[in-house]
Amino acid sequence: MLTALLLIPFIGGLALLLLPSSVAPVRMRSVAIVFLSLQLLLSVALLIPFDPSVGTPQLVEFTPWVSRIGLDYRLAVDGLSLPLILINAALTLVSAVCTRDISQRPRIYFSMLLLISGAVNGAFLADNLLLFVIFYELELIPLWLLIAVWGGANRGYASTKFLIFTAVSGFLILAAFFGLALVSGSVNFNITPALTENLPVATQLVLLVTLLIGFGIKIPLVPFHVWLPDAHTQASTPVSVMLAGVLLKLGTYGLLRFGLGLFQEVWPLVAPWLAIWAAISVLYGSLAAIAQSDMKRMVAFSSVGHMGYVLLAAAAATPTALLGAVFQMVSHGVISALLFLLVGTVYRKTGTRDLSVIRGLLNPERGLPLTGTLMILGVMASAGLPGMAGFISEFLVFQGSIQAFPLATLLSMVGSGLTAVYFLLLVNRAFFGRLAVTPVEDPVAHGRLDVQLAAVAPRETIPAVALALSVVGIGLIPSALSRISDSATQLMAQMPGGMG
Amino acid sequence: MNAHLPLSIQLSWLIPLYGFSGVLLSLPWATGWVKRNGPRPAAYLNLLMTVLGVAHGSLILAWVQQNGGVVIEWPWFETSGLDLRIGFDLSLTNLAALEFVTIMSLLGQVFALGYLDKEWSLARFYALLGFFEGAMAGVVLSSNLFLSYFVLEMLTLSTYLLVGFWYAQPLVVTAARDAFLTKRVGDVLLLMSVVALAAWAGSLDFEDLYAWAAQVKADGSISPLLGTLIGLGLIAGPMGKCAQFPMHLWLDEAMEGPNPASILRNSAVVTCGALVLLKVMPLLQLSPVAIDVLLIIGTISAIGGALVAIAQVDIKRAFSYGTTSYLGLVFVAIAVQQPIVAVLLLFAHGLAKALIFMSVGSVIATTNCQDITELGGLGPRMPATTGSYLIAGAGLTGVLPLGCFWCFGLLVDGLWANYPWLVPVVLLTNALTAFNLVRVFRQVFLDKPHPKTKRTPEVNWLMALPMVSLAVVVLLVPLIFHRIYPIAGVEVVSLFSMVAVVVSSLVGVVIASGIALDKFGSRSVFKPLRTLQDLLAYDFYTERFYRSTVVAFVAFLARITDAFDRLLLNRFVNRVGTSSMVSAEGLRLAVSGQTQSYVLTVLLAIVLLLSALVWWRAA
């Protein structure tokens, strides 16, 4: 069953490549949507055999592969990876559906999208360190292509930056895993804390720090975040949805699975530093977001801030905090995907994302009222308003962390308050006021009443409405998610590195 | 669960949902899917839901009056480390507050039908009002701090959306922003306390928290610093909600929103905030500092608010500052451990303030003018509005034995023993309020008609009916007090306090009757007086102060971070990138191009790497 989660997107990607190029782009999108819907169905179906009361990896599928170097094909799923598998399936489907401009090489575009989704599934399911690295690297090139070929004007710079940073990240992770195998004398790369059991503390620390920097680039944490805002601004909307919603989660997943999971003995030593790092990341991301005038850059910096909560939770490693980390990964995935979708709609209709230019989009006759309404919902969810996904995630993270790291937690909460500041600025500037798409400095053009934006067709709003509903759904019925993850996060916290 | 309880109580979870469901019911009209026959059906559906809410609340109230209060809970979110529940404390006070909130909402909604007669997005307004009402019902009934926080934040959100209702106007944009951010500051501080209490006390149930606080106070198991911080966080949330200094700015700006929402905001919403404070009051024993802060803030707000109010020319703002002022007195009552007086004052003030905002709303609806210097002579033309204003004014001050007269009397009695220095605060607030009411009355209802007030008929029945009904209720407040709190005994107020309250009111009335009134565009030529007027009219320059401190500071930090990101971090990364490209170019020229040399280089590197690793492993 788990293998099928890899096969469906990979076969779909291959099938798309084999289609004759005479097939209409819309048809190709339909093919991609069919495969992705299958993937989503199968991911949801995983809930049936999945036993939520078991915290350890389950539904294991094992085939010896290149056992000589410790590379085995070993897949498993647990409460940490299952929500991320679901998010991956849902958001890839969303980005395929919301792809509008597909005149340019649609075959390759959609097959890359499917390839990414399959690779991400592989990374989340891999129960072998080398297998994880293979899938982790596999997702890089297609994403690089998606930015470099289908990106904005400055895509060359942004995609190269992305490629270099994430390649370094992959290299560091591989180095840490190889180093671990070498110093522990183990030839199998199965994920078990026993790997680090008899190692000197200094060696463990070196390996852990290497790993943390590797995943820190991907998450991204300050100061390794510099690739993210550029990548987002140059990427097209569907690619941003994938990048923010799914790919960043590889970093936080790795942090929890391999950082906390493998290095339990030294984790408490680095945890206080990680908490400080988390607080800095949160505040830095939030403050930088306030200063942005490009809506997409603002949302990108908010990601930097919001992923910091996951690091804080990982540092505290209590059952509540770790459950909060899973919640935060899921809700950030859904919320940021929603925000990028809406910013994409604004960009498509107005031709700009500049907050000093757009005004009054809520106008019910000539503006984008539904987009505006969903935007208000999205930013409020991101700012942690109760009843939506962001609040319960943040509450769990903060409540789980405050006893271990009171100061870092309080600072992160200040960051949560700052989220309200920049997102309120966004809504107030772009959606409130009198409809205009001209610079404020231009008094003649400003406030002219002849701006008429093309209406958003109801069909186009389906993905955003679906995401908005799931944001509210998670916020009101959080037990649906905690039921899946509670055992796994509890088990994780009870390990020696955890504080449970 | 709770099978022995009557159905009305078992179904009490429905109460907030009456309001919230209004949002969904209004959607077809608010989104414009249904355009036939205008948006009125949404309003009627909302009214129906509110009537259901009032009826359901009354059923429960009747049962509780006979059988005593009951706490009822439903599980919501349970994990290995946390158990969050939805809990309602169906006590007499909470249910009375619920009736107050829902009836206010009902009256406000009927009033809005008349006031927003020609508003094209009426359905959206009712959807927001429904949301507002649902959140308020949740706040007053909540039996645990988590749920209280949850719905308080929803209240913040709905305030933002209601203030921002006419979002195309520039002043509304800033008002909505300030309302949200000010409350959000309070909310984040409150959240810090909620999170800390959840972690240290292990439960967020009010009853458990009270027990925990008493125990901790006895054995001193948490540090005084932590206790103080928790206490300060707990009062920060209600401070924002009740528009207390220094977080009072938003209520004034919020007057840019539609008047029916202002009616609710100045009566019901601030009451909700104060009720949360009442609920956390027993926890404040952990933190004497927080109680002192409460007392100081209450005092400053009471006098400061009343002073600023008398310098306003906007008819809505003149009374919104009065709300800050009265809630300051409520804070004082809570700080000196007089919860019953606080509750009575909340009710008396809430009813009378709602009535005055209805009266003011009628004036605005008829004249399309909010500037009192441009109004005059409305008295004979609008008898119902004028009568309501007078009754509301009497209810707010201690001049006639209506609601606030008894509250002030009780408060003065209570303060006299331990806090005699607070007695003048109460009396001064009362006098200033009376002054303000008379000043506005002379300006708007007496005086000779102005161009804007020559043709001013009385408002239609949709506005007059709720206004007159509420006026009757305000007149009956002493009787209601007698029914709800027979033991508190509003009759036991000492003669001294009664005289003091009446005299202070009369002082205000007499002075206000004698002063010269500003006319449109006129200001005092006497420089010191003008400076004082400006100081008060501009709210002690609080907005300017904020802009040059907090706002400037955050903006500065944001700019610094952004500059660091762009100029240092990104430039560094680009420099590294460029230099590696350059060195790569250089290497290209340096190599010979022979395959052997590449192989040799790679082999050499691998040997070096491996030997380094072997050495490291051995070491």
**Nearest Cβ partner of A432 from B150, B164, B559?**
B164
Give dist(CA B490, CA B344) in Å, integer.
Answer: 10
**Nearest Cβ partner of A482 from B79, B121, B164?**
B79
Q: Which residues in chain B are closer than 8 Å to A362, comparing Cβ atoms?
A: 167-168
Residue where a domain stops, chosen among B537, B562, B582: B537
- A residues 436-475 lying closer than 8 A (beta carbon) to B: none
Are B240 and B340 contained in the same domain? yes
Are B309 and B338 contained in the same domain? yes
What does the angle CA B326 – CA B518 – CA B424 come to, to the nearest 5 degrees? 30
B333, B312, B167: which is closest to B251 by C-alpha?
B312
Give dist(CA A151, CA A158) in Å, integer.
Answer: 9
**Nearest Cβ partner of B573 from A226, A291, A385?**
A226
Identity of the amino acid at A486: D
Give dist(CA A237, CA A217) in Å, integer.
Answer: 22
Is residue B377 within 8 A of residue B452, CB to CB? The reply is: no
| CB within 8 Å: B168 and A432 | yes
- pLDDT per residue as tens digits for the range A290-326: 999 999 999 999 999 999 999 999 999 999 999 999 9
Residue A179, pLDDT score = 85
> A92 vs chain B: nearest CA distance in angstroms?
29
Residue A218, pLDDT score = 93
**Nearest Cβ partner of B157 from A183, A380, A421?**
A380
Enter the tokens of residue B242.
């009740």
**Nearest Cβ partner of B173 from A291, A391, A433?**
A433
What does the angle CA B315 – CA B320 – CA B321 come to, to the nearest 5 degrees? 105
Residue A500, pLDDT score = 45
> B123 vs chain A: nearest CA distance in angstroms?
13
* H-only helix segments in B515-551: 527-537, 542-546
Are B463 and B476 contained in the same domain? yes
Is residue A120 within 8 A of residue A87, CB to CB? The reply is: no
Do the domain assignments include residue A408?
yes
Q: Which residues in chain B are closer than 8 Å to A416, comparing Cβ atoms?
A: 188
* H-only helix segments in A225-292: 227-234, 237-242, 248-254, 261-262, 267-290
Residue B497 CB partners (closer than 8 Å, separation 6+): B408, B409, B410, B412, B413, B416
- pLDDT per residue as tens digits for the range A180-209: 888 877 766 777 777 777 788 888 899 999
> B135 vs chain A: nearest CA distance in angstroms?
11
Is residue A46 within 8 A of residue A85, CB to CB? The reply is: yes
- pLDDT per residue as tens digits for the range B77-93: 988 778 899 999 999 88
What does the angle CA B577 – CA B579 – CA B585 come to, to the nearest 5 degrees? 105
Are B34 and B93 contained in the same domain? yes
Residue A151, pLDDT score = 86
Instruction: Tell me the pTM.
Output: 0.93
Q: Does A376 touch chain B (CB under 8 A)?
A: yes
**Nearest Cβ partner of A398 from B32, B195, B617?**
B195
Number of structural domains (chain B) is 3
- Give the helix/strand (H/E) hosting B290: helix B288-309
| CB within 8 Å: B167 and A431 | yes
pLDDT at A444 over 60: no
Selected residue of B33, B76, B79 to mutate for chain A interface (largest A Cβ count, 10 A): B79
Q: Compute CA distances B602 → B599, B606, B607, B608, whole Å.
A: 5, 6, 9, 10
| CB within 8 Å: A420 and B173 | no
Q: Which residues in chain A are closer than 8 Å to B195, comparing Cβ atoms?
A: 395, 398-399, 402, 409, 413
| CB within 8 Å: A391 and B77 | no
Are B196 and B236 contained in the same domain? yes
Do the domain assignments include residue B166?
no
Do the domain assignments include residue B164?
no
| CB within 8 Å: B172 and A432 | yes
What SS3 state is found at B70? strand
Are B516 and B477 contained in the same domain? yes
pLDDT at A337 over 60: yes
Identity of the amino acid at B334: I
Using CA coordinates, name the residue in chain A closest to B229: A410
Q: Does A142 touch chain B (CB under 8 A)?
A: no
Residue B5, pLDDT score = 84
Per-chain mean pLDDT for chain A: 90
Do the domain assignments include residue A388?
yes
Do the domain assignments include residue A348?
yes
Is residue B537 within 8 A of residue B531, CB to CB? The reply is: no
Q: Does A372 touch chain B (CB under 8 A)?
A: no
| CB within 8 Å: B196 and A223 | no
Do the domain assignments include residue A385?
yes
* ipTM of this complex: 0.93
A189, A138, A201: which is closest to A167 by C-alpha?
A138
Give the number of C-alpha atoms closer than 13 A to the C-alpha of residue B297, restricted to the C-beta side: 25
Are B120 and B218 contained in the same domain? no
Which pLDDT band holds residue A116 (cuts at 50, 70, 90)? Answer: very high
| CB within 8 Å: B157 and A292 | no
Which pLDDT band holds residue A399 (cuts at 50, 70, 90)? Answer: very high
> A410 vs chain B: nearest CA distance in angstroms?
7
End-to-end CA distance of chain B: 67
| CB within 8 Å: A396 and B82 | yes
Are B415 and B557 contained in the same domain? no
What is the extent of the structural domain holding A336? 273-500
Using CA coordinates, name the residue in chain A closest to B148: A386
| CB within 8 Å: B81 and A392 | no
Number of structural domains (chain A) is 1
pLDDT at A454 over 90: no
What SS3 state is found at A187? coil
Mean pLDDT of A431-455: 70
> B601 vs chain A: nearest CA distance in angstroms?
20
Q: Does A380 touch chain B (CB under 8 A)?
A: yes
Are B531 and B559 contained in the same domain? no
Identity of the amino acid at B382: M
Q: Give me the total of CB pairs closer than 8 Å, taking one residue from chain A and one from chain B.
A: 138
Helices (H) and strands (E) in chain A, counts: 20, 4
Residue A150 CB partners (closer than 8 Å, separation 6+): A104, A109, A236, A239
Q: Which residues in chain B are closer than 8 Å to A164, comparing Cβ atoms?
A: 577
Are B202 and B69 contained in the same domain? no
Q: Residue ranges of chain B with pLDDT lower than 50?
A: 1, 619
Are B104 and B243 contained in the same domain? no
**Nearest Cβ partner of B188 from A362, A364, A417?**
A417
Q: Does A370 touch chain B (CB under 8 A)?
A: yes
| CB within 8 Å: A396 and B78 | no
| CB within 8 Å: B161 and A376 | yes
- Give the helix/strand (H/E) hosting B24: helix B14-30
Q: Does A431 touch chain B (CB under 8 A)?
A: yes
Residue A315, pLDDT score = 95
Residue A351, pLDDT score = 87
Is residue A369 within 8 A of residue A363, CB to CB? The reply is: yes
> A478 vs chain B: nearest CA distance in angstroms?
7
Residue A446, pLDDT score = 52
Do the domain assignments include residue A432?
yes
A119: left (phi > 0), else alpha (psi -120 to 50), else beta? alpha
Give dist(CA A199, CA A387) in Å, integer.
Answer: 46
What is the extent of the structural domain holding B548? 540-573
| CB within 8 Å: A287 and B195 | no
Place of tokens 């890839």: A92
Do the domain assignments include residue A15?
no
| CB within 8 Å: B562 and A291 | yes
Are B560 and B500 contained in the same domain? no
- A residues 285-324 lying closer than 8 A (beta carbon) to B: 287-288, 290-292, 318-320, 323
